[in-house]
Amino acid sequence: MDPSIARRLASPDFYLHALDGTVAQFMPMDRAAYRRSIFLDHRISMAEGEPFGLDLAGAAGFLPDAQPVGWIFHVAHCGSTLLARALEELTGTLVLREPVALRQLALGSNRQALPAVLALLARRYPGDGRTVIKANVPVNFMLDQIAAADPGAPAILLYSHLPDYLLAVLRSPNHRGWVRTISGQLAAHIGTNDASSDAELAAALWLAQHHRFADALKAMPQARTLEAEQFYADPAAALTKAAALYELPSGPALATQIAAGPLFATYSKNSGQAFDNAARLARRDHLAGQLDGELAEAAAWLDRHGVDADALVATLDQAALMA
């Protein structure tokens, strides 16, 4: 192999963006590009340079050794993007927000490339602490394999109580469309055979993800849970504890400054849109009255399946980050 390729594989400046069969697609990046890319999917904002492809099988002997990483797993629409961006600002570490390659493996049947993908995502810049990877919803259904690959990895499992989750994912036609789409993609995992309405699909998705989180706590002793409302209510404390979990440098004073700054006064996915926790709570309270029938419908679906939502959440709380 060309020595220049081996050098590229050692640096996060050449980011594993996606998989096309056995070919890995790499994009040129730098620290600034990672920071301005809210997500590393089609919205990625590359650095200057040319993408290139590389057959992973042929490059196996040149892949870097996997380094320790930290994880953020989440159930969606619960503050994970805000947490990831704030953690990046607090610690200066590389935070990968929703890598496409992981999602592709989670939704595919062939996960043999997982060790190579993890090794390439784990790369870090010289002098940095561990890279943190914020996954997305499909990756929750590959959590067992990720845990088997690195059971000692520190991880935050960001979750919501059922009513809060429903108010977040049913709040608009676009969000409802996401529920239907992701439920269809993950139907084999979430068991939606008798779930016909948006509320029932959302309940099934909530249940399946929280079960995966409970299982992950058994397999990953350094995993901690974080309830979304606790994060929103005291982001400075959550950030400080998260940085300590990942063994990254931080300080309570800087965490407090970040929590009081523009990041928490704007929409996490669009810094040009004003939005803070007070606005979020006002929206949630407004929606509660409109969606009370669907909240009851979702709860009834769980009851029919013999699910005690409070007991499931209590299991997660045993490993609470904010304890």
Q: Is residue 76 assigned to a domain?
A: yes
For residue 150, give the CATH number of its domain: 3.40.50
The pLDDT of residue 58 is 78
Q: Is residue 260 assigned to a domain?
A: yes
Range of the domain at 240: 64-93+129-317
Q: Is residue 219 assigned to a domain?
A: yes
Q: Is residue 9 assigned to a domain?
A: no
> Cα separations (Å) of 27 from 36, 128, 256, 263?
15, 21, 35, 27
Please report, in angstroms and rounded to a whole number, the separation of the first and last CA atoms in the chain.
50
* The overall pTM is greater than 0.95: yes
- 67 contact partners, CB below 8 Å, separation of at least 6: 119, 122, 123, 124, 130, 131
* Mean pLDDT, each 10-residue run in order, the chain (323 residues): 78 96 94 97 96 86 90 98 98 97 92 94 96 98 97 98 98 97 95 88 97 98 98 98 96 96 95 95 96 97 96 97 95
When divided into structural domains, the chain yields a total of: 1
Q: Is residue 58 assigned to a domain?
A: no
Q: Is residue 202 assigned to a domain?
A: yes
For 25, phi and psi rounded to 5 degrees?
-100, 120
For 40, phi and psi rounded to 5 degrees?
-100, 35
The pLDDT of residue 135 is 98
Task: State the chain's maximal CA–CA distance in angstroms.
Answer: 63
Closest CA to 133 of 110, 111, 150, 112: 150
Q: How many CB atoms lie within 10 A of CB 181?
A: 10
- Return d(Cα 144, Cα 51) in angstroms, integer: 32
Q: Is residue 112 assigned to a domain?
A: no
- 227 contact partners, CB below 8 Å, separation of at least 6: 159, 160, 161, 313, 316, 317, 320, 322
Q: Is residue 8 assigned to a domain?
A: no
How deeply is 53 buried, as exposed, middle or buried, from its count of CB atoms within 10 A (0-12, 13-18, 19+)? exposed
**Structure token pair of residue 115:** 């060790």
Residue-by-residue DSSP string for 53-108:
EEETTTTGGGSPPPPPEEEEEE-SSSSHHHHHHHHHHHH---EEES-HHHHHHHHS
